[in-house]
Structure 1
């Protein structure tokens, strides 16, 4: 039975690793073959085929519900209901829309929309909206987070921005009540932590700032502020424990069987908490696991621990096979499996403090391989932070918050409990901030498969019980973490990464011993591409420090991410073509036209217009030459500045040209394109950008000159091995069944 269940899980999980889905016409035959094998010895193979067929069918159904290609980028009038709690940050209202009707066919059943400067919205309201819709598409970079996979896992068929709208009907029923409860929680005096209370009670994390999330990430405590299996499981355990204590104290009525009541009370409390949290996917997963644990405790303890865990795994995957695309799924199930492996029924024989320490040590080490595989940061202070934060939040703050919420109708009682819970949260965040300042999260370099397998094997051996042969050798297998294999360019060569940062620019240049970042990506309000995309990509590529941060000019789409990068990966030197508008903390110095240097036999030369009248014209231009192959990075210079560059005497015949100003009509003059003679033209921009970049006239001029266009909006991050005269590589070419081509 266990073999068949493992095979079913394997078939369902294989979806995560498919480059493309099999043809729809093949799936009925795969399912039929699987069903035919179930009664025989090969039932495990049958379970695998059935799971695989169901997972592929579910994924294809989600893909078919995406916005049609011919409708991409168009604006539609549509009606729908607001689903879940709208997220309001920085004047932007973000929400999901369901139950959609429109005169246009082909619209998805679920949309993720943003309304800049939009009005207050509530869950359950019906709206008529004019929305510009886009097919699901994300940035594709060396950093493994995949936004398109995240959207598909949530079955979101399109994203978009609101142009206008009107409310058709007010919210009613439980959705409205839940939103009203959120507003009530945000209004209470919680010593400045009402947003964290709302996150713990109703699953609304919009009240947590970017700085809060950074602290939680650095200390490995994100899971504490997101309603997960830990919160629901701990509440179920507390309710179960209340009945068990009454029995131990002799006050439970002997005529009533206590165990069914304890399990029933725990299940009811978990369902109630799940309802408050909105029954999101992680909550559903937690409720399935809690239900099975309670059922196991009630009737089936003789089956051991692993069978219920397998049943929960298969149950969650059968309900929604796309959950395998989410990081939380892997982390939650692996965490439970690790605890089962480490303790194996020995928890009761240990003192509570020893058990808690053992659990934190096991989680810190045991989850390391999956964190590496998912490209998630590793918190070095996490074991210490969780040692006190987990019991404080789960056993004290969450019960106080829930009890205070229940008693809000009683004047003074609920507010007092929430004030205490908020004070505890404030103290907790102060301690976590200190830990984060002492030891930020570590984002290691991406490991090749063979090195990752060694680390995973080393972790498994280390976690085995004492006395197991080769257990001590597990620590040796962890060495690739400290000394990761790198793919550094040889002397005379340079690795160029034009990162996919949307409507902005960030270019990494690496020689054998040095690293330079040309521009740092944009920042939109509290969403910092430098911190979210550029920095993780640098870490994933094995860059541990920067010799030079070169900012072409001070516009936010080029320098917006500079502060975050300089804070977490300080560059030896910061240079910019425009100092006005840059934070003084960067310590930037002016671009010196004509300055040149050589790193590992790769030549670099700077140029800047002596007649610049604005920031774009002042862009610091960088020319790179490696083994005779040349690249010109141009920032946002315009046609007038291009003419000055042509007259500067700088040798401008290049192989690779970064198209000035993202392909703006005011740049890339015919004379400039002809003089550079580039065979390859690079464009960094976002799809459907408001500026119309690259302009059709610029594209025509490049094509007429014989230049091949490489566009981050179409190809994702672009990798060039300068000096080797090798073909360019776009990361979007790496096939994933959910990825837009």
Structure 2
């Protein structure tokens, strides 16, 4: 039985590793082979093939529900009902629209929309909206999150930006949204939004600083409704009935065990419905159902059976769940606990069991965090010793009881006020810990080193006294000390990061690193913090020798402060140093300055007769073993002509498309003077400026220049000095990534 369930689970999980989905006839053949194998000795292979086939069918269904290509990028009038809990920000609101209709064509069942500067939007309302719709897409950077995979896992068929709209019908049966408004109106000592996240699973109101604190301390799971919260509530109900039965207070005509299991599951299900019954809650309820069923009828089959049953139940219900990091973290955490506590001789005292569980979970989840590119909290094992019971035994019971008693004057509000105060005390402690020891974002490992780290974690999870267990520690230390590929002397590794309508280049030589522009930032949307800084850390950059900001426009210099806060920056230069924030301490770009790092030459140029910000761009020329790269910022045609007359002008190999491919740049004078063989374009998909302009693209084609666009290729990597071609991350095929 276990063999069959494991084979089925492996087939379902294999979906996430497919570069492309099989054709219809291939799936028919796999299904036929799988069914034919069931009566034979090859039945595990049959279950594997059936699991894989079902996962592929489900994934293809989700892909087919995406926005039609002919509607991609168009602005349509649509009508639909708001579902879920809208995330209300300071300047915008993000929400989902279901069963939307348009006269121009069929729309996906679920849309994710953003409305900047719009009115309040509530769940259950029916709206008529003018929306610029896009097929699901996202930024793709080295070792970063894959937004397209996340959208597919949630079965979002399109994203869009609302231009205008009118409410046609008020909310109907939107009790969760009404409850959220009621909770936000309660005095919870400033923690109203945090309680909403804990009670309703709506984290949209949490401040960015709160999320950073939770991530740094490894306590995000405490505010995201998960198996821990569902299991706690079910465990309290089960323990209450078991205690009543032991004291003889439970009715003897009712068998206590079936009632305890049934009422525990009912309580968990009610909490799940309160939280919106999202995928993590569905996963937790399914796992709990398997555990309770095992407790009733199948204890003799061992403790690993409920985990396998829950794993298969979750994947059969939603095969795309395996595309989300939370799936792997939750099931691995439970598997670690089962492996740790089952089969041990003798019983541990409660404190030893609790403390050891935290450390072993931290060790066991390390390979998963590395594989997913997630930060590692070094303080999580210690802080969770206190934070988990703080939330589980104090805050959550007070919050749920207060919510239940809200109709009772003063009583419900008083309990929520108390819960908010207890929660605020925890956050103050977490903030101090996060300031003392921020989360660590390790550099990705070679595959062989990652496998050895997995082996090391497994050895350390074994009981004490077993041979070879001590070897787990040196294997685990490969996370820090594993040899990694280094840039050869005389070459420079160049990354054009995918930052949408902005610019950010990372240049690494053997012993030095610099950043040319830091990505855009507008209000709370700071890609310097969200993309540039994590990418630098994952590329192994621990300090920047130089941050060069071509000019002061927000799409080039907006992310600079976040980068400077997150990494030591030895020197900052700016094309418009006086216009940059004073905290950056930027020095003016010095035209004619040149230097060498590890056999690679760098030189600066700036037009002294510049009349505006774009013309003030500080230009960087990089030469490695005769191969040249020119980074131009937002230089326009007049500045380009001035550069073409300079002594540095001459043939280059690679050109950063000036001003994102604007019509006012990439002049004939520049292209003739430089004659590049390739141009690197950084821009936002369907940006409002129409970059790159068709005339500019036609000019590139006329000169035989190959264009590499981050919208089509994702982040681009160029090994300057090796005379190769730029490599885009989208070249790594995944079935959910559309070829562009």
- TM-score of the superposed pair, with normalisation by structure 2: 0.98
Q: Secondary structure at the match of 2:577?
A: coil
Q: Aligned pair count?
A: 739
Q: Is the 8 A contact 2:315 2:322 kept in 1?
A: yes
Q: Which 5+ residue runs of structure 1 have no aligned equivalent?
A: none
Superposed CA deviations along residues 113-153 of structure 1, whole A, max 9, x for unmatched, are 11111111111111111111111111111123100000000
Distance 2:646 2:628 in 1: 18
Q: Is the 8 A contact 2:577 2:589 kept in 1?
A: no
Deviation >4 Å, runs of 4+: 345-348
Distance 1:7 1:342 in 2: 23
Alignment of 1:549-588 (within 5 A): 549-588=547-586
Q: Which residue of 1 aligns with 2:218?
A: 220
Superposed CA deviations along residues 602-628 of structure 1, whole A, max 9, x for unmatched, are 000011221233322221111100000
Q: Is the 8 A contact 1:80 1:100 kept in 2?
A: yes
Seen in structure 2, the aligned counterparts of structure 1 residues 222 and 423 have a Cα distance that, compared at 3 Å, is same
Superposed CA deviations along residues 359-382 of structure 1, whole A, max 9, x for unmatched, are 110111110000000000000111
Q: Is the 8 A contact 1:347 1:355 kept in 2?
A: no
How much has 1:345 moved relative to structure 2?
6.2
Superposed CA deviations along residues 385-439 of structure 1, whole A, max 9, x for unmatched, are 1111111111211111010000000010011110111111111111111111111
How much has 1:76 moved relative to structure 2?
1.4
Distance 2:361 2:613 in 1: 50
Q: Which residue of 2 aligns with 1:138?
A: 138
Q: Secondary structure at the match of 2:630?
A: strand
Q: Secondary structure at the match of 1:78?
A: strand
Q: Is the 8 A contact 2:217 2:378 kept in 1?
A: yes
Point out the more displaced range, 148-157 or 557-566: 557-566
Does residue 602 of structure 2 align to residue 601 of structure 1? no
Q: Which residue of 1 aligns with 2:352?
A: 354
Point out the more displaced range, 250-259 or 670-679: 250-259
Match of 1:447 among 436, 445, 448: 445
Alignment of 1:122-133 (within 5 A): 122-133=122-133
Distance 2:497 2:324 in 1: 24
Q: Which residue of 2 aligns with 1:11?
A: 11
Point out the more displaced range, 650-659 or 8-17: 650-659
Distance 1:580 1:238 in 2: 62
Q: Is the 8 A contact 2:542 2:568 kept in 1?
A: no
Point out the more displaced range, 344-353 or 557-566: 344-353
Seen in structure 2, the aligned counterparts of structure 1 residues 581 and 408 have a Cα distance that, compared at 3 Å, is farther
Q: Secondary structure at the match of 2:82?
A: strand
Distance 2:492 2:511 in 1: 10
Q: Which 5+ residue runs of structure 2 have no aligned equivalent?
A: none
Q: Secondary structure at the match of 1:114?
A: strand
Distance 2:214 2:650 in 1: 48
Alignment of 1:315-394 (within 5 A): 315-344=313-342, 349-394=347-392
Q: Which residue of 2 aligns with 1:57?
A: 57
How much has 1:347 moved relative to structure 2?
11
Q: Secondary structure at the match of 2:406?
A: helix
Q: Which residue of 2 aligns with 1:229?
A: 227
Distance 2:360 2:650 in 1: 58
Point out the more displaced range, 323-332 or 700-709: 700-709
Alignment of 1:214-363 (within 5 A): 214-344=212-342, 349-363=347-361
Q: Which residue of 2 aligns with 1:491?
A: 489
Q: Which residue of 2 aligns with 1:694?
A: 692
Match of 1:676 among 674, 682, 689: 674
Alignment of 1:649-728 (within 5 A): 649-728=647-726
Q: Which residue of 2 aligns with 1:86?
A: 86
Distance 1:324 1:12 in 2: 8
Distance 1:716 1:55 in 2: 27
Match of 2:733 among 726, 732, 735: 735
Distance 1:353 1:462 in 2: 20
Distance 2:578 2:737 in 1: 40
How much has 1:346 moved relative to structure 2?
5.4
Q: Is the 8 A contact 2:11 2:49 kept in 1?
A: yes
Alignment of 1:42-121 (within 5 A): 42-121=42-121
- The root-mean-square deviation of aligned C-alpha atoms, in Å, is 1.4
Q: Secondary structure at the match of 1:349?
A: coil
